[in-house]
Amino acid sequence: MLVPDVRTFLAVASAGSLSAAARQLDVVPMQVSRRIAALEEDLGVRLFHRTTRSLTLTAEGEAFVPFATAMVDAESGARAELRPSPGTASGVLRLTAPSGFGQSVVLPMLSDLLEANPELRIDLDVSDRQVDIVGQGLDVALRIAPLEDSELVAKKIASNPRLVCAAPAYLEKHGRPLTVADLDSHACIRLSALRRWPLIVEGTLVRKHVDARVTTSSVEAARSAAVQGLGLVQLTYWDVFRQLADNSLVQIHLTDAAMEDLSVWAVMPSRQYVPNRVNVFLGALQSKLAELSEGH
């Protein structure tokens, strides 16, 4: 039973004729007649008594009116629920973000986002593990690492280059490295997932072995260890932008190497029928990153 057929039935019952219903629905009378015939065949009953001069509901047609009305109302309600007004977001936004970026950027912006969208709920997974977006029913995944070929849809949100930094106290005590070779004489803090530090040397990506005085699986722990003066650390800009702003960490520029230029990506299952809650969230995220970039 198709909702357009049911909607046509109600129009005919209200208008009292096929031609009047056709004008109301802005279709030709033949289309109205075919829809009514299809509905009657589907239900297995006659809904109207038809003569050349009149059209009236049968007893079965009378009995079907309240059910037809409920169906049309339910369909209209579903459309309204699933397609909220463009300026607002509703429903549950399911997303995942890397731990460092999630803690430093995503979590602090949620208060304003939820206040502006009272019907929105957030289900946030803050983790550095790669998750199955489709399998876990996620709306969007924020990722920093270089993206592999995928059938998923990726949208660039902001630049997020790697950088090397250290606490002022560490640099005062041990000096500042100037070249790639200088890294060999410094204690370093390394992420477990990054066994060697990626560096761009003469236009080529190389992976530099460093003396890992501290190794950790957590971006937050690596950042904290660096702030405490335990060594040099290589993280991304959005992992340490607050510490660079308050000078608890200082960026180090090597004369013979550049850093890998990563980005923040929003990865989604499909580019079709993207929920409005995703667009609202990504718009808010881009605005927040732009605001923070200007402030620092």
Q: Once rounded to an integer, what is the mean pLDDT over residues 241-268?
A: 93
- Find the angle CA(173)-CA(257)-CA(211) to the nearest 5 degrees: 45
Q: What is the mean pLDDT of the chain?
A: 88
The helix (run of H) or strand (run of E) holding residue 138 is: none
Out of 85-99, 142-156, 278-292, least confident range: 142-156
Amino acid found at 156: K
For the stretch 43-54, pLDDT in tens is 899 998 887 777
Residues with Cβ within 8 Å of 256's Cβ and at least 6 positions away in sequence, in order, are: 179, 180, 201
Which residue in this structure is represented by tokens 């289309």?
31
Q: What is the pLDDT of residues 54-94, one digit of tens each?
A: 788 898 888 999 888 888 888 776 766 666 555 677 889 99
Q: How far apart are CA 7 and CA 28, in angstroms?
A: 15
Evaluate if residue 292 carries a pLDDT over 70. yes
Instruction: Report whether pLDDT(32) > 60.
Output: yes
CATH 3.40.190.10 placement within the chain? 91-158+263-295, 162-252
Mean pLDDT of 228-257: 95
Whether 288 and 161 have beta carbons less than 8 Å apart is answered as no
Residue 296 has pLDDT above 70, yes or no: no
- The pair of structure tokens assigned to 138 is 């996620």
| % of the chain residues with pLDDT over 90 | 49
C-alpha span between 85 and 74 (Å, rounded): 18
Tokens, residue 127: 């983790």
| Most confident listed range (67-81, 212-226, 270-284) | 212-226
CATH 3.40.190.10 fits 162-252, yes or no: yes
CATH number of 3-82: 1.10.10.10
- Calpha distance 69→78 (Å, rounded): 14
Is residue 237 within 8 A of residue 163, CB to CB? The reply is: yes
DSSP 233-251: EEEEHHHHHHHHHTTSSEE
Model confidence band, residue 147 (pLDDT cutoffs 50, 70, 90): low
pLDDT in tens, 78-134: 766 666 555 677 889 999 999 889 988 999 999 999 999 998 999 999 887 877 787
The model's confidence at residue 150, banded by pLDDT at 50, 70 and 90, is low
Name residue, tokens 């803690």.
Answer: 103
Enter the DSSP assignment of 105: I
Pairing status of strand 232-236 against strand 204-208: unpaired
Here the tokens at position 171 are: 């640099």
Q: At what angle do helices 276-295 and 237-245 cross, to 10 degrees?
A: 40
Which CATH number, 3.40.190.10, 3.30.110.30, 3.90.1300.10, 3.40.640.10, labels domain 91-158+263-295? Answer: 3.40.190.10
List Cα–Cα distances, 236 to 74, 173, 198, in angstroms.
49, 24, 12
Angle, helices 18-25/3-15, rounded to nearest 10 degrees: 120
Query: Which of 4-13, 125-134, 199-208 has the least mean pLDDT?
Result: 125-134
Residue type, 164: V
SS3 214: strand
| Res 131: pLDDT | 77
